[in-house]
A and B are shown apart, each in its own frame.
Chain A
Amino acid sequence: SAVISQKPSRDICQRGTSLTIQCQVDSQVTMMFWYRQQPGQSLTLIATANQGSEATYESGFVIDKFPISRPNLTFSTLTVSNMSPEDSSIYLCSVGRDISNNEQFFGPGTRLTVL
């Protein structure tokens, strides 16, 4: 298993500002992912955070809006840029050990409200 922490756990932000969410894992992991979970809905994958290179974004998500860093195998950040109320959501970090053992472990999430 893996223990994952996220900061902040929640925040209330003003329209037009940006928020950076941190994800820290207690051990080195191969794969890290960022998801969005809008109220009452399922998880939508935003991107795969790649160590030492640019993240791989899913359709509908772009780097300018959701820049991601992954400087090492235990840490990643997701920034939600130029926020609007539509960005209000729970943002989840998850990790996987390797592609062959594709169970994922999730962080507790960051609950973001944009006014």
Chain B
Amino acid sequence: GDSVTQMEGPVTLSEEACLTINCTYTATGYPSLFWYVQYPGEGLQLLLKATKADDKGSNKGFEATYRKETTSFHLEKGSVQVSDSAVYFCALSDQSNAGKSTFGDGTTLTVKP
């Protein structure tokens, strides 16, 4: 079945540091890939997505590129802010699985001033 493996956390960075959160996946079909973010006390929000190989999703300075050859979708940001402190979830959704999503375990990011 489908699965998503995320870099284990927690991750603690200083403001303006570079961020990379690794994500790899296995899927039987041709999935779409997503990063969701969960700020403290809130529900999940879509951060960015990519629907086919070599697509790059971007939002709020975050980027991730759909790499089919390495089955990866790593999340990157060049300069993090304190407001980026949250839990980040990598996910995939496969049309062959009735639109259901499979989530990684989440990575907690804390950015210190």
Contacts and interface: CB of A to CB of B under 8 A. Distances in A.
Nearest to B89: A42
A43 interface: yes
Given A42-B105, A45-B100, A106 B44 contact: yes
Nearest to A43: B103
A42 B104 contact: yes
Contacts of A30: 99
Contact of B95 (A41, A94, A99, A104): A99
Given A94-B101, A103-B93, A106-B45, 16 more contacts: A33-B100, A41-B105, A41-B106, A42-B89, A45-B100, A48-B98, A56-B98, A92-B43, A92-B44, A94-B44, A98-B99, A102-B101, A103-B46, A104-B93, A106-B36, A106-B43
A57 interface: no
Interface of A: 30-31, 33, 41-43, 45, 48, 56, 92, 94, 96, 98-100, 102-109
Contact of B89 (A31, A43, A107, A108): A43
Contacts of A96: 99
Contacts of A43: 44, 89, 103
A44 to B, nearest CB: 8
A109 B43 CA distance: 6
Report whether over half of chain A's contact residues are helix, strand or loop; otherwise say mixed. strand
9 smallest A-B Cβ distances: which pairs?
A102-B93, A99-B99, A106-B44, A108-B43, A106-B43, A42-B105, A43-B103, A102-B99, A42-B103
Contacts of A100: 95
Nearest to B45: A106
A103 B99 CA distance: 9
A42 B99 contact: no
A56 B101 CA distance: 14
Contacts of A106: 36, 43-45
A6 to B, nearest CB: 8
Interface in B1-60: 32, 34, 36, 42-46, 49
A36 to B, nearest CB: 12
Among B42, B43, B89, B101, the one with the most A-chain Cβ atoms within 10 Å of its Cβ is: B43
